Amino acid sequence: MNNRNKTIWVILVLLSVISISAAGIKLYPMNEKWESAKIRAEKLQFGTDKQLESVIDFLEKRLQERNAFNFTLAKEPLRLTNVLYLTDAQGRMLRYRNTNKLRVTHIIDGTSTQYAGIQYRGENYTVVIGDSIAGGEIVWIDGDEVVIIKGEAEYHYPVAGLAEEENVTMETNSRNEF
């Protein structure tokens, strides 16, 4: 081997030793951090927070109860009164959810006869005096109510949502209730 070859090999060995030692110096602190992270990971315990476990159990039970709830609407899912409650002119809630009950929806005052709109068992009927509905006979229709006789009993059905009105006369400032 000549001197030129020896010089190149010496330079290569020196550069290799310098690069290996520089990499070692740089990697040594990282190795210490990695070892301490492994030790911390071995000491870590999961599921030891009792308060957190009780909150998770409560939330899981509540979710199961909500999933078990069956939300169905009877026959008419788009009926607005399933989600909104209607009130009359005085703010009283109208409760017409029971469709089996008889309810007077409106009264039409004709020239010779009076007609009443009645909702019974989910059906709408237009009746006059003398008609029979709900096992009784209609004997009276006026602007406020319909009177039905069933056997010996007399039933008065007011018009649904009809507010009690007051008449204030300007002369005496007295209130006359209708």
Burial class (CB in 10 A: 0-12, 13-18, 19+), 105: middle
- Coil, strand or helix at 123: strand
- Residue pointed to by tokens 């059906």: 123
Confidence of residue 159 (pLDDT cuts 50, 70, 90): confident
- Tell me: pLDDT of 167 over 50: no
Q: What's the pLDDT tens digit per position in 41-86?
A: 888 777 667 888 888 899 999 998 888 877 666 666 666 666 666 6
pLDDT at residue 54 in the model: 86
Mean pLDDT of the chain: 79
112 C-beta neighbours (distance < 10 Å), count: 4
pLDDT at residue 170 in the model: 45
pLDDT at residue 168 in the model: 42
pLDDT at residue 151 in the model: 87
Domains of the chain, CATH where assigned: 3-66 (no CATH), 80-158 (2.30.30)
Cβ proximity of 18 and 10 under 8 Å:
no
- Tell me: pLDDT of 175 over 60: no
pLDDT at residue 178 in the model: 35
CA 157, CA 149: separation in Å to the nearest integer? 11
Q: Among candidates 127, 124, 145, which has minimal Cα distance to 137?
A: 127
Q: Among candidates 155, 109, 161, which has minimal Cα distance to 134?
A: 155
- Tell me: pLDDT of 161 over 70: no
Q: Among candidates 120, 121, 116, which has minimal Cα distance to 138?
A: 116
- Tell me: pLDDT of 172 over 60: no
- Residue pointed to by tokens 């998770």: 56
Q: Among candidates 158, 29, 34, 36, which has minimal Cα distance to 103?
A: 158
- How many percent of the chain have pLDDT more than 70? 72
pLDDT at residue 81 in the model: 61
Torsion of CA 79, 84, 90, 96, to 10 degrees: 40
pLDDT at residue 93 in the model: 64
- Tell me: pLDDT of 35 over 80: yes
